[in-house]
Structure formats: C-alpha cells, structure tokens
C-alpha cells in the first residue's frame, strides 16, 4: 500500500508516510500550524475526542479527518472531487483506520445523508462557495457543539458583505462553481449566528508568519472562527467573541491596515495604485 501512496507525486497534506512528496514543501508546516490554532480549543469545548463524531467538509485527501481519527474520533470526510478522496482512501487503508469514512459529495446537495456531528471542520472552503449561507445553515442543522471555520476574508471591511469572485473550477483547491463569494468578518459572524451558533469567536494566533507567507495583503487575511452552541465560553490571548457589528480585527496590525486603506483611497481618487 505504501508504494501506491509514494507513487503519487502531488500530495497536499503531510501524512506520516516516509518519502511522501508534497506539491509544495511549505504544506508540511502550513497544515500542522492550522490544526494547532483551533484543535486545543475544540478539545476544551468537547472534551476527549474518542467517540466524538467529526465532519471534515471539502476535505481534499482528508488529512484533518485523518488526524482526528488518529485520536479516536469517528471522522467523516466529504469532498466534491473523486481524485483526492481516492488518495485519502489509500492512506485510510494503509493505517487501518476503521473510524474514518470518506465520501464523494457536494455539500450543497441536501440529499447527501450525513447524520449529526459534535464537531464540523469547515476549512478553506467558505470562500469557494456560491451559496455559503445555505451551506452553513445546513451544517448548523447537523452540528451539535462546535464548527471551526478557516477562510480568507476581506479583513478591513466592517460591513457584513459577500464579495463576488471568479475562479477556475479546474483547480483542485477551488470550489465546484466559477462564481464564488468571499466574506468579511461581519458576514462570517452573521452567517454562523443565522446557522444556529449562539456564540462566535475569532481567533488571532500569535504566530501568523505562515499565513503571511501565503498572502501578504493585509486586506485579504486567513482567519480562524469558532461557532459554538450552548452555554460554553472561551477566553484567553487572541480569543475574541464577535458579532456582525464588531469592528474588524486585523491580524497584520494597525500600520498595515492604514496603509491598505490609503492605497484603496488613492486608487479610487486617481485610478492608479
């Protein structure tokens, strides 16, 4: 089985298979860092992961579902493309993870039977959707405790808006439609509240260097959100409870924020950058 895994030369996630080749070496640090930002908080909210049901939406080859399954969770990974699910299935079989289920399906299709989940991982997909409001509402209906959302946002806009973007569906990392929406912080908070999560938090990690390497534009930031059902609360460094009316938090600092606003104003006034 390991020979089949090693024959694939474009893995996007760092599975613990010696000799595994990543599409970009940077992925070897990027994905573990992302997991380190929110998983400790998720464990704080739901307790021991053993036996907990975890849904990994738009999972690609299901590395995050794999990591949760390794800790005893009953994990389900769903992706709209068959090829990455086939790759993830090789890893599942290699490690003998009977508590990991992988399936091909479009999360926008309400006919897919998924069941109820303690935790939903909604990583890197919100900004690739044409109808994120409907998708988050559906996920709210099947998530009993917490949803973790990692997404690009328009970071400096305080209004609850979804901005239209065109993207190529041929790229595996993109969504299944070529017209998608990118949210603001306020829009994420509003959509999660609408989906049934009574508390919404944004997490500002102290070490943001990897995200800056991915995108250095302060107006477009990689952001971490947690939506919680019930009475539990979170507190600590970098943890901010937000609503649709909260001012936008800026991971890049005030200087970068002011520079980006000045750049946009110059462009509006002169038509030049």
pLDDT digits (tens, 9 = 90+) for 189-218: 999 999 999 999 999 998 888 887 777 677
pLDDT band at 38 (very low <50, low <70, confident <90, very high): very high
The structural architecture, per CATH, of the domain 2-270 is 3-Layer(aba) Sandwich (3.40)
Buried b / exposed e across 57-95, counting CB within 10 Å, b at 16+?
Answer: bbbbbbbbbbbbbeeebbbbbbbbeeebbebbbbbbeee
Q: Do the beta carbons of residue 146 and residue 45 sit within 8 Å?
A: yes
Please give the pLDDT value at position 24: 86
Q: Is the pLDDT of residue 234 over 90?
A: yes
- What pLDDT digit, counting tens, does each position of 105-129 carry? 988 777 777 899 999 999 999 999 9
- What pLDDT digit, counting tens, does each position of 152-189 carry? 999 989 999 999 888 776 666 666 677 889 999 999 99
Please give the pLDDT value at position 114: 84
Count CA within 13 A, CB hemisphere, residue 160.
Answer: 15
């Amino acid at each position: 089985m390991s020979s089949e895994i090693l024959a694939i030369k474009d893995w996007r996630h760092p599975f613990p298979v010696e000799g595994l080749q990543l599409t970009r070496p940077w992925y070897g640090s990027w994905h573990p860092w992302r997991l380190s930002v929110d998983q400790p908080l998720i464990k704080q909210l739901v307790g021991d992961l053993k036996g907990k049901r975890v849904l990994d939406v738009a999972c690609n080859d299901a590395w995050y579902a794999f990591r949760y399954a390794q800790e005893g969770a009953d994990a389900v990974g769903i992706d709209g493309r068959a090829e990455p699910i086939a790759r993830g299935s090789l890893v599942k079989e290699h490690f003998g993870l009977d508590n990991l289920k992988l399936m091909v399906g479009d999360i926008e299709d309400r006919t897919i039977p998924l069941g109820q989940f303690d935790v939903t991982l909604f990583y890197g997909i919100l900004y690739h959707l044409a109808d994120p409001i409907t998708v988050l509402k559906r996920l709210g209906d099947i998530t009993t405790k917490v949803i973790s959302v990692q997404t690009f946002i328009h970071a400096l806009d305080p209004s609850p808006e979804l901005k239209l973007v065109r993207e190529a569906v041929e790229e595996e990392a993109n969504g299944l439609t070529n017209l998608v929406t990118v949210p603001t912080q306020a829009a994420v908070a509003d959509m999660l509240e609408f989906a049934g999560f009574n508390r919404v938090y944004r997490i500002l990690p102290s070490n943001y260097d990897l995200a800056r390497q991915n995108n250095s534009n302060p107006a477009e930031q990689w952001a971490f959100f947690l939506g919680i059902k019930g009475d539990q609360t979170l507190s600590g460094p970098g943890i901010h409870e937000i609503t649709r009316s909260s001012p936008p938090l800026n991971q890049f600092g005030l200087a970068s924020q002011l520079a980006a606003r000045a750049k946009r104003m110059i462009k509006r006034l002169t038509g030049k950058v």
